[in-house]
């Protein structure tokens, strides 16, 4: 912000150098994963899919259903601990290298901007200049490309929730057939466009809660992008430190900060200042690494050890969580059944003294084989009244829903809630799963 509290627009210099090249390779791999993960098929299913409508989630090829909430919770918890461990140890490296916000802004939208409007000086001059045919052309071209890229990214993002086939169907069908999806796509595209055209780095410096957590997560041993003040200061003097006060590290910074002021909330560890300073050091024949990946302790004492009590403790918790997750994943049943009394219903009593309850059955085949399943009452002796007596035929990873009416003689029941048990059997008559539910009687 300037002295009056107004936003200072950042004209960051186009970064170049060894670290930028590494980030560019990583970005290509990241974007390939982002685009291909919902398209690649393993055993006929996508590698990644978040099908919220059908409550089916495929993560790295493993399928999770709504009934797998516990396993999903374990996975999420493991992910949170992984992020904590990673942040305590390596600082905000996620932000600079793998966060979608940084990848989209720094590696796609800013690159478009550099291409159309030029590097930081030309862009600054263009914005200061009065409107001319050339300025209008450049601005229209840049914002046109931004809108196009926002729409493309939104469609890829939506593919993670719909899968590629459904997405193509939505795109090719008339708009009226998917009006809701179309409106969502437009809104998400508009948000993307607004963020990458105008709001930009403020997401990292003002909005993102992860950025705000750095103050409590980082310590003196965390590896961050750091300025070696011992070597660099006093800056800009002939007999002084190595920093020649050229300010290249500031002009290249996408969040507009001066890394020489120490670790800051706004630093996303993008490494642009490392590259800029290394190039300066090369020119003045001084050793590279005045700005580098190091810990505060590493700079103070000259040696670095990434281990401390916190990341050791997080590692142990993460190992336990992951072990438990893998165990529950591989021992989960082949078939997942949930049977619940139809909401809002109690019981019915017929003239011949039979009491009945109505149940909803939801069943999922989690295997890669087709299954024919039979539902029977295990205890107590009673009757399932079904409209169709055929077995439930389930294809690979298919779900089915049925309604059952269960009936007992009133004399065999206690007042209020009774316990009954269903059994799910395969074609060979083998019991696959038992499901206990309550039965209401007058």
For residues 73 and 169, what is the distance between their CA atoms, to the nearest angstrom?
32
**Strand order across the beta sheet in which 62-65 lies:** 49-51, 56-59, 62-65
For residues 86 and 92, what is the distance between their CA atoms, to the nearest angstrom?
9
* Interface with ligand SF4, residue 249, by CB under 6 A: yes
With beta carbons less than 8 A apart as the criterion, state whether 336 and 68 touch: yes
Instruction: Specify the stretch interacting with ligand SF4 by CB under 6 A; choose among 108-116, 142-150, 159-167, 243-251.
Output: 243-251
* Interface with ligand SF4, residue 218, by CB under 6 A: no
H or E stretch including 65? Answer: strand 62-65
- Which of 245, 305, 350, 367 lies at the binding interface for ligand SF4 (CB under 6 A)? 245
**Strand order across the beta sheet in which 431-441 lies:** 392-394, 371-379, 416-425, 431-441
For residues 150 and 372, what is the distance between their CA atoms, to the nearest angstrom?
46
With beta carbons less than 8 A apart as the criterion, state whether 47 and 38 touch: yes
Name the β-bridge partners of 401: 362
For residues 349 and 378, what is the distance between their CA atoms, to the nearest angstrom?
22
Is the CB of 247 or the CB of 328 nearer to ligand SF4?
247
Is the CB of 276 or the CB of 363 nearer to ligand SF4?
276
- Which of 58, 63, 85, 267 lies at the binding interface for ligand SF4 (CB under 6 A)? 267
* Interface with ligand SF4, residue 224, by CB under 6 A: no
* Interface with ligand SF4, residue 27, by CB under 6 A: no
* Interface with ligand SF4, residue 437, by CB under 6 A: no
DSSP string computed for 374-424? EEEEEESS-EEE-S--SPEEE-TT-EEEEEEEEEEEGGG--SEEEEEEEEE
* Interface with ligand SF4, residue 116, by CB under 6 A: no
* Interface with ligand SF4, residue 244, by CB under 6 A: yes
- Which of 108, 126, 223, 268 lies at the binding interface for ligand SF4 (CB under 6 A)? 268
* Interface with ligand SF4, residue 223, by CB under 6 A: no
Q: Return the residues of window 272-311 that contact ligand SF4 according to CB under 6 A.
A: 272-273, 276-277, 280, 290-291
Instruction: Specify the stretch interacting with ligand SF4 by CB under 6 A; choose among 77-85, 225-233, 310-318, 340-348.
Output: 225-233
Q: Shortest distance, CB of residue 232 to ligand SF4, whole angstroms?
A: 6
Q: Shortest distance, CB of residue 1 to ligand SF4, whole angstroms?
A: 17
Q: Shortest distance, CB of residue 194 to ligand SF4, whole angstroms?
A: 22
**Spatial CA neighbour of 394 closest among 420, 361, 421:** 361
With beta carbons less than 8 A apart as the criterion, state whether 295 and 220 touch: yes
Q: Shortest distance, CB of residue 296 to ligand SF4, whole angstroms?
A: 15
* Interface with ligand SF4, residue 257, by CB under 6 A: yes
């Amino acid at each position: 912000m300037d002295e009056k509290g107004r936003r200072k627009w950042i004209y960051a210099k186009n970064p170049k150098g060894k670290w930028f090249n590494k980030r560019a390779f990583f970005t290509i791999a990241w974007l390939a994963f982002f685009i291909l993960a919902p398209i690649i098929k393993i055993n006929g299913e996508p590698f990644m899919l978040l099908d919220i409508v059908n409550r089916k989630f495929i993560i790295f090829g493993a399928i999770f259903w709504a009934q797998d909430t516990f396993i999903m919770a374990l996975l999420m918890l493991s992910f949170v601990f992984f992020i904590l461990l990673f942040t305590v140890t390596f600082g905000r490296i996620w932000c600079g290298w793998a966060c979608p916000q940084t990848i989209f802004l720094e590696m796609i939208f800013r690159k478009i901007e550099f291409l159309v409007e030029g590097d930081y000086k030309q862009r600054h001059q263009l914005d200061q200049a009065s409107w001319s045919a050339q300025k209008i052309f450049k601005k229209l071209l840049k914002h046109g490309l931004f809108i196009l890229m926002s729409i493309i990214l939104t469609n890829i993002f939506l593919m993670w929730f719909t899968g590629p086939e459904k997405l193509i169907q939505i795109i090719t069908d008339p708009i009226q057939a998917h009006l809701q999806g179309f409106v969502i796509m437009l809104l998400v595209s508009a948000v993307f466009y607004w963020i990458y055209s105008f709001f930009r780095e403020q997401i990292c410096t003002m909005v993102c809660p992860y950025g705000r957590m750095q103050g409590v997560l980082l310590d003196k041993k965390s590896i961050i992008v750091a300025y070696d003040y011992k070597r660099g200061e006093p800056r800009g003097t002939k007999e002084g430190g190595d920093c020649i006060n050229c300010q290249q590290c500031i002009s290249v910074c996408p969040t507009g900060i001066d890394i020489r002021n120490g670790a800051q909330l706004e630093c996303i560890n993008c490494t642009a200042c490392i590259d800029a300073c290394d190039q300066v050091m090369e020119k003045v024949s001084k050793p590279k690494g005045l700005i580098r990946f190091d810990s505060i302790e590493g700079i103070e004492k000259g040696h670095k050890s990434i281990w401390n009590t916190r990341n050791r403790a997080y590692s142990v918790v993460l190992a336990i969580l992951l072990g438990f997750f893998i165990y529950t994943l591989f021992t989960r049943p082949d078939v997942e059944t949930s049977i619940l009394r139809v909401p809002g219903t109690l019981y019915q009593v017929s003239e011949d003294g039979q009491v009945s309850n109505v149940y909803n059955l939801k069943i999922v085949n989690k295997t890669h084989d087709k299954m024919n399943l039979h539902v029977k009452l295990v205890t107590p002796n009673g009757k399932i009244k079904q409209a169709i007596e055929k077995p439930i035929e389930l294809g690979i990873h298919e779900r089915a829903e049925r309604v059952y009416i269960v009936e007992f003689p009133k004399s065999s029941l206690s007042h209020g809630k009774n316990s009954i048990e269903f059994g799910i059997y395969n074609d060979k008559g083998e019991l696959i799963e038992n499901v206990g539910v309550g039965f209401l009687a007058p």
